[in-house]
A and B are shown apart, each in its own frame.
Chain A
């Protein structure tokens, strides 16, 4: 898979999940199938998408899990489930992703969601080599998938058929998808697979169609080169020199497949008895770095061409040059093996690589500085095992950094919880004092007594009982006057004074009566208000008392959670370290094995060069003897 293809594949794994927008050409294409902006119905889901759209999959997943735990994204539950499956998939957690998609399918979900879940299960099955399961999942998709995802489904179907050896069905599936962006890649895959499985003619036809297509982008040009390379060598295997020359001549001179194409072109020219033309690409190729196997082979091919041209002197000279070059390269490989065995070579590689945690980091590794432990890195990267191991090792380093940040956060939380406990302890005496001085029972009794009194006034209509202070003083003065009048001798003067007192009493009673209703209502209203105030005071006191009781419990709860998490961090840390060490050791072994294989190949080439050289000398001697 090409570099950008791998990157794209990873992106697409998740980018297409929301509404199935697995863009074929660019991850951005997925946006066409996303819910239109502004249609987010839970803000927290929008927050997840904000991180997701920035390819920050880990953070998006953590936020998604938290929001789901707290029931904050209930309007998007099915979409969120689908998204979480895709995010786990992007992190390489196939089992977890499968579990989520299967759980989703076990419940009642709209067909559009179940179709997409089946699609992603098919993809997981395919990636893990479970082709029959992948095909069953594909068969369960009931309607065309939205947007670019449908084109990707067709590609997946053809890949699964191909992986099962059902080539004619795969060809049929590809014919239906002729206009898809992915179709050239699928045609290439199928072409190579058919050439390798013996259906060479049909395979070559497919490769020819890709090798002669109009390419718009670097990626397409790279695919076209690859198709021409495969086609050229397929022709070479059949000893068809001219078509091989035609195909290999179409490979660009500045691409990743140039060296192999130059090597093949030389052999094709040699096949049609044009050794002088074979020399042109081979001599060009020999200027390259000797760690490339095509360059290594050119050191033998060049003297072979000279020998074909009967330039035995030059051929012998070139063979000697080859023997010397192989020996020097073999020494450099020894240095690299020693450097790798010293340990820490993965760290050296990754320290030299871009530090940003983005998807494209991997392919920039080819630009790392030339040092013994990194010299053959690009060569090693061609190995899938090495690629996967290096990605794992890098993930483990990122996990270590993440864990370190978690450790720092937990230390801060621990301080915070302790500070809260201290603050609660400091507030406790003042709180106790306030609570002790608050006699709500006494206030409540007084409220009850007043309520009873007002009720009695209302029952007996004791209008004077609601008199104001001034009126009460006037009423008392009137009573004193009447008492004095009662002690005076009878006569017209006393009668006149008594009559005036009676009038005054009547007037005051009339006033009391006139104000009574208003005053009673006001008194009852005041009583109700004090009742409410008293209830509020009771609630506040209860809250203060409750806070006093729960504060230690809350901080203890937080302290316990901090402690639990710290223990988990402590438990995971050494496991990450151990796994990273195992991964490092394993990759060092892979690297050393690969380099030793390279050494053996160089030794074999050197031996062949020496044989050829000896043969030339023999021929020269025999010729001289004759």
Chain B
């Protein structure tokens, strides 16, 4: 075999070795020595993006606040939250919410949302306005109960709406003694 071909082969093999180790080295998990060495102009754009993101977070925060204060002033605001406590005996599918016999929310849950509830998240199901005085809330929960059976239950609460914002919590929990789910509405001060 000619020396020229050997030189080509030697160069290729060296290249392959170096290349593979660079590939592997470049894959060092979370090693910033390799990961964070972009060109200066890329860093500059990255900084611009960071600043813009922060401004966008602030903008959305102020917009969110304006929306709430404009549409749901504290004097008439009523918020209904939904939470799950354990929830062994009930797999939530949907909730229908009525306030003063008027349907205000009908929510179908995704698996992801149910998981978020199981992990301790609390969903703000309804935000609206009510005059001061006595009102009634009724919630119907649909899902699978014990033994995978279709399950539909309701719960209700009469409450007084005063001048300040009113928070109500629909709570699904387990009644261990009866091996059944329990649905309650709770008023928050």
Which A positions have Cβ atoms within 8 angstroms of B? Answer: 1-2, 5, 9, 31, 34-40, 43-47, 49-54, 58, 61-63, 65-66, 69-70, 91-96, 126-129, 159, 162-163, 185-186, 188-189, 192-193, 195-196, 226, 229-230, 232-234, 236-237, 260, 263-264, 267, 270, 293-294, 297, 300-301, 304, 307-308, 310, 315, 382, 384-385, 388-389, 392, 395-396, 399, 402-403, 406, 409-410, 413, 416-417, 558, 561-562, 565, 568-569, 572, 575-576, 579, 582-583, 586, 608-609, 611-612, 614-616, 618-619
Contacts and interface: CB of A to CB of B under 8 A. Distances in A.
Interface stretch (B80-88, B98-106, B141-149, B177-185): B80-88
Interface residues of B, number: 82
B53 A616 contact: no
User: Which secondary structure characterizes the binding site on chain A?
Assistant: helix
Given A159-B31, A384-B35, A233 B84 contact: no
B65 A70 contact: yes
Given A37-B120, A46-B81, A229-B20, A413 B66 contact: yes
Interface in B131-168: 167
Given A129-B33, A403-B56, A406-B60, 15 more contacts: A5-B29, A40-B122, A44-B124, A49-B119, A93-B50, A189-B31, A226-B27, A233-B17, A236-B13, A385-B38, A385-B42, A388-B46, A558-B70, A568-B55, A583-B45
Nearest to B69: A558
Contact of A406 (B8, B9, B59): B59
Contacts of A163: 31-33
Interface string B42-67: 10011011101111111111111111
A230 B20 contact: yes
Contacts of A270: 9, 13
Given A34-B120, A406-B59, A189 B29 contact: yes
B31 A66 contact: no
A38 B67 contact: no
A237 B33 CA distance: 23
11 contacts: A36-B120, A37-B120, A49-B122, A52-B116, A62-B60, A236-B16, A237-B17, A294-B16, A388-B46, A579-B48, A579-B49
B122 A127 contact: no
Contact of A126 (B8, B30, B38, B173): B30
Contacts of B85: 37-38
User: Which secondary structure characterizes the binding site on chain B?
Assistant: helix
Nearest to B35: A384
Contacts of A189: 28-29, 31
A45 B167 CA distance: 13
A85 B60 CA distance: 17
Q: For B2, B11, B69, which residue has the most chain A Cβ atoms within 10 angstroms? A: B2
A572 B56 contact: yes
A478 to B, nearest CB: 53
Contact of A196 (B21, B123, B167, B169): B21
Contacts of A5: 29
B4 A49 contact: no
A2 B23 CA distance: 11
Query: What are the 10 tightest A-B residue pairs by CB atom distance, in nearest-first order?
Result: A46-B122, A50-B121, A615-B4, A53-B116, A230-B24, A38-B85, A233-B20, A615-B2, A37-B120, A49-B121
A539 to B, nearest CB: 13
